[in-house]
């Protein structure tokens, strides 16, 4: 059902945890649907120095959280904003169609954390939209 | 790695004795049972012998057993066949909210074709509320369908009481006994069930074969139309190897059943106690007493079931969950929601169903690795964080 990459990222996920003095925190999804993703970002000079996550969800939700955080570390805020769910899916060598919403959730979680960062620092990130209150998928 | 198979409610391995009995009917006695030459009459009499064996298990008459392609067909036939044959009497039909989809979706189909359906609620252990059944019955009620035992939480329904209520009011009573047959004794002379569905692959028989018990005198239409097989009640060339295999499997299942169940119940209770005593924040699902001998069902708070199954699979254990992610739909199991679990708690469920071949070492291995797996997933879960930080149990009932 899942690719080898997905299983690797599920069994040994990277960046699980929290950042105490996070520059931005984003939480998306809801327990009713069975997935919640919380992403923590440490941003310095417009660069994402560190990213961590906590996820309640299925194998795909945990794997996409792991992959998405890996893909944005070291990137600029603008580059992180441009990370699409499609790129995350490709990096995982694909996801089953019914699991694609998990990758959307990962993208949304990164965006929500960036929004929180922008709000806290009173800056504007071009092209960033406010996070949805509740993602139903 | 050897698989430890704990998903016997999904399906079971076919026993060697069963395969041996089936084998000659593939390439030796392959004749069509409706033909007249020797190899055909041998397959014909094999069917009739199988029918007798199966009938005797239920204390029924051989003429009341009809072979089908499995549990789903038996349920469809029982429900649609009864509804159509009795619609002049009334168009109200009753079932429970915890049925298998083979029953629920058939009722939904009938509700789109002019029948009115009442879905009975269940209590927190998954049992149909008898008072609700009495209240739901009307003058135009023609059918009640309540499963013998639940496939997810293992709860055995008060079948005797339900059948008496139906009998008094001359309403046809169907029971989907797919999970019960092969695990517990059912006496159809004592219990007034009119229609009973069963499926061979749930008791170490082959897939693709099952039966419907139709009590003599029950008014029911045919469902599959065509040839004159099954006493003109169910058309289609008989699945002879499957039927022979089903009869052998049922004989083996009911041989020394009480003794075998004692062993399975001991393993089941070891798992239940092991989980309750070693893992915090769990909820035991289903009835503690009126329960199938092989069923364990728990919800593990703050984690999601599919993740749990994947981690167990990596350790060689095959089990099942009521989480949405494993059902391919958005909602978790309707059974778990019906017994009052919140969505979140239902998502974190694990079902373990034992079989005769499971050993105590396998149970010990499960109990050894499960606490660590649950903790690993909780350590990744934002809900568990909230709980630890005392933000409360807001999402958890």
**CATH code, domain with A49:** 3.90.1010.10
Residue A37 forms beta bridges with which residues?
Answer: A28, A55
Cβ neighbours of residue B365 closer than 8 Å, sequence gap 6 or more? B4, B317
- Cα Rg for chain B, rounded, in angstroms? 22
* B301 contact A CB<8A: no
* Residue A8 included in any domain: yes
List of E strands, chain B:
4-5, 65-68, 92-96, 116-120, 141-145, 172-176, 195-199, 210-214, 282-284, 295-300, 317-318, 349-353
| Residues of chain B with C-beta less than 8 angstroms from the C-beta of A33 | 324, 330, 343
For B117, the token pair is 């359906």
Surface of A (101-130) touching B: CB under 8 A: none
Query: What's the confidence (pLDDT) of residue A135?
Result: 46
Q: Where do the domains of chain B lie, and which CATH numbers do they carry?
A: 4-10+256-388 (3.90.1150.10), 16-254 (3.40.640.10)
Task: Say if the Cβ atoms of B323 and A32 lie within 8 Å.
Answer: no
* B343 contact A CB<8A: yes
Q: Mind giving me the DSSP string for A64-100?
A: HHHHHHHHHTTSBHHHHHT--HHHHHHHTT---GGGH
Q: What is the mean pLDDT of chain B?
A: 96
Residue A99 CA: distances (Å) to CA of A60, A64, A90, B295, B306:
6, 10, 13, 29, 12
Q: How far is B307 from chain A (nearest CA, A)?
A: 5
Residue with tokens 């006994």: B177
- Could you give the number of structural domains in chain A? 1
Quick: pLDDT tens for B43-55.
999 999 999 999 9
A63's enclosing H/E stretch is helix A59-72
Q: How far apart are CA B335 and CA B325, in angstroms?
A: 15
Region A39-57 average pLDDT: 97
Task: Say if the Cβ atoms of A58 and B344 lie within 8 Å.
Answer: no
Of B195, B226, B249, nearest in space to B65 by CA: B195
B166 annotated active-site: no
Of A27, A34, A137, the CB nearest to B382: A27
Q: What is the pTM of this model?
A: 0.94
Q: In 3-state terms, chain A is what percent helix, strand and coil (to 5)?
A: 40, 20, 35
Query: What's the confidence (pLDDT) of residue A137?
Result: 38
| Residues of chain A with C-beta less than 8 angstroms from the C-beta of B343 | 31-34
Catalytic residue, candidates A7, A27, A30, A33:
A33
Residue B333 contacts residue B349 (beta carbons within 8 Å): yes
> What ipTM, to 2 d.p.?
0.93
Quick: pLDDT tens for B324-361.
665 566 678 999 999 999 999 999 999 999 999 999 99
DSSP SS3 for A27: strand
Asked whether residue A136 carries a pLDDT value surpassing 50, the answer given is no
* Residue A137 included in any domain: no
Angle between helix A4-11 and B305-314 (nearest 10): 100
Alpha helices (H) in B255-359, listed in sequence order: 257-278, 305-314, 324-327, 334-338, 343-347
Query: What's the confidence (pLDDT) of residue B330?
Result: 66
* B50 contact A CB<8A: no
Residue with tokens 């029948």: B115
* Residue A36 included in any domain: yes
* Residue A107 included in any domain: yes
Residue B339 contacts residue B27 (beta carbons within 8 Å): no
Query: What's the confidence (pLDDT) of residue B206?
Result: 98
Asked whether residue B258 carries a pLDDT value surpassing 90, the answer given is yes
Asked whether residue B207 carries a pLDDT value surpassing 90, the answer given is yes
Residue B205 contacts residue B22 (beta carbons within 8 Å): no
Q: Give the number of A-B residue pairs with CB atoms closer than 8 Å.
A: 71
Share of chain A above pLDDT 70, in %: 96
For B91, the token pair is 């168009």
C-alpha B192: how far from chain center: 20
* Residue A128 included in any domain: no
Q: How far apart are CA B100 and CA B354, in angstroms?
A: 19
* Residue A39 included in any domain: yes
Catalytic residue, candidates B10, B130, B325, B369:
B325
Range of the domain at A60: 4-120
Best probe of the A interface among B301, B373, B382, by most A CBs < 10 A, is B382
For B98, the token pair is 């915890």
Quick: pLDDT tens for B5-45.
999 999 999 999 999 999 999 999 999 999 999 999 999 99
């Amino acid at each position: 059902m899942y690719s080898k990459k997905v299983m690797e990222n599920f069994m040994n996920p990277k960046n699980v945890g929290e950042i105490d003095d996070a520059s931005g925190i984003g939480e998306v999804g809801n327990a009713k649907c069975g997935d919640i993703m919380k992403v923590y970002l440490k941003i310095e000079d417009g660069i994402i120095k560190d990213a961590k996550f906590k996820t309640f969800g299925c194998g795909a939700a945990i794997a996409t959280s792991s992959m998405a955080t890996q893909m944005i570390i070291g990137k600029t805020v603008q580059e992180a904003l441009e990370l699409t769910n499609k790129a995350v899916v490709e990096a995982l060598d694909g996801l089953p169609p019914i699991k694609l919403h998990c990758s959307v959730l990962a993208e949304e979680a990164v965006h929500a954390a960036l929004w929180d960062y922008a709000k806290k620092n009173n800056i504007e990130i071009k092209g960033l939209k406010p996070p949805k209150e509740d993602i139903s998928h | 790695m050897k698989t430890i198979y704990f998903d016997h409610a999904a399906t079971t391995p076919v026993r060697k004795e069963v395969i041996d009995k089936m084998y000659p009917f593939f390439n030796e006695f392959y004749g069509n049972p409706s033909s007249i030459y020797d190899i055909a009459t041998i397959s014909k009499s094999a069917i009739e012998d199988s029918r007798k064996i199966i009938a005797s298990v239920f204390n029924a008459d051989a003429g009341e057993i009809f072979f089908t392609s499995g549990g789903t067909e038996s349920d469809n036939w029982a429900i649609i066949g009864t509804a159509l044959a009795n619609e002049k009497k009334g168009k109200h039909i009753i079932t429970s909210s915890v049925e298998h989809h083979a029953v629920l979706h058939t009722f939904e189909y009938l509700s789109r074709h002019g029948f009115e359906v009442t879905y009975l609620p269940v209590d927190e252990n998954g049992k149909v509320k008898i008072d609700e059944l009495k209240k739901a019955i009307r003058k135009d009620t023609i059918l009640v369908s309540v499963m013998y035992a639940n496939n997810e939480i293992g709860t055995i329904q008060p079948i005797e009481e339900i059948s008496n209520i139906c009998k008094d009011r001359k309403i046809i009573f169907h029971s989907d006994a797919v999970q019960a047959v092969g695990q517990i004794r059912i006496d159809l002379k004592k219990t007034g069930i009119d229609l009973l569905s069963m499926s061979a692959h749930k008791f170490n028989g082959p897939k693709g074969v099952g039966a419907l018990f139709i009590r003599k005198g029950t008014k029911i239409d045919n469902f599959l139309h065509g040839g004159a097989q099954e006493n003109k009640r169910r058309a289609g060339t008989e699945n002879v190897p499957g039927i022979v295999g089903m009869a052998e499997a049922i004989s083996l299942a009911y041989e020394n059943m009480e003794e075998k169940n004692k062993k399975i119940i001991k393993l089941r209770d070891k798992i239940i106690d092991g989980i309750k005593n070693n893992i915090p924040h769990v909820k035991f699902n289903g009835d503690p007493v009126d329960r199938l001998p092989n069923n364990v069902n728990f919800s593990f708070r703050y984690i999601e079931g599919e993740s749990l199954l994947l981690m167990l699979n990596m350790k060689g254990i095959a089990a099942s969950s009521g989480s949405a992610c494993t059902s391919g739909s958005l909602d978790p199991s309707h059974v778990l929601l019906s017994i009052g679990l919140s969505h979140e708690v239902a998502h974190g469920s694990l079902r373990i169903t034992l079989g005769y071949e499971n050993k105590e070492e396998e149970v010990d291995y499960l109990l050894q690795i499960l606490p660590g797996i649950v903790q690993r997933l909780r350590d990744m879960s934002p809900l568990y964080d909230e709980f630890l930080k005392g933000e409360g149990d807001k999402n958890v009932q």
